């Protein structure tokens, strides 16, 4: 001890440093929970959690978010659907115009 103060041999690490390390390396948390009553299994929950950066996940071959329609926008598919809807609206407008023209006669 120097001058009544303690020196720590362990360096303190900030939250940002810990988060950076976790995302860089990845962390896997796995667990199983089973609820049984009188020897009969009522509920079995298997938990598998991976915490990693997008780059690390892609290195591991995990890229499900790229094909998930709720998370990824597929512009080719959207353009296709948009063109089909515009075509349908144009046909409906043509039919409506023909129908109202026939009613005038």
Residue pLDDT, tens place only, 27-63: 888 899 999 999 899 999 999 888 888 888 888 888 8
Residue among 23, 20, 47, 45 at smallest CA distance from 34: 45
Residues contacting residue 7 through CB under 8 Å, at least 6 positions apart: 1
pTM above 0.75, yes or no: no
């Amino acid at each position: 001890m120097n001058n009544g103060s303690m020196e720590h041999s362990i360096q303190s690490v900030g939250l940002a440093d810990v988060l950076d390390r976790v995302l860089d390396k990845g962390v896997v948390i796995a667990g199983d929970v089973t609820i049984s009553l009188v020897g009969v299994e009522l509920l079995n929950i298997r938990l598998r959690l991976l915490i990693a950066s997008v780059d690390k996940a892609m290195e591991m071959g995990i890229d499900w978010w790229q094909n998930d329609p709720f998370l990824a926008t597929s512009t080719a598919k959207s353009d296709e659907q948009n063109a089909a809807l515009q075509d349908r609206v144009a046909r409906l407008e043509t039919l409506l115009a023909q129908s109202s023209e026939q009613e005038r006669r």
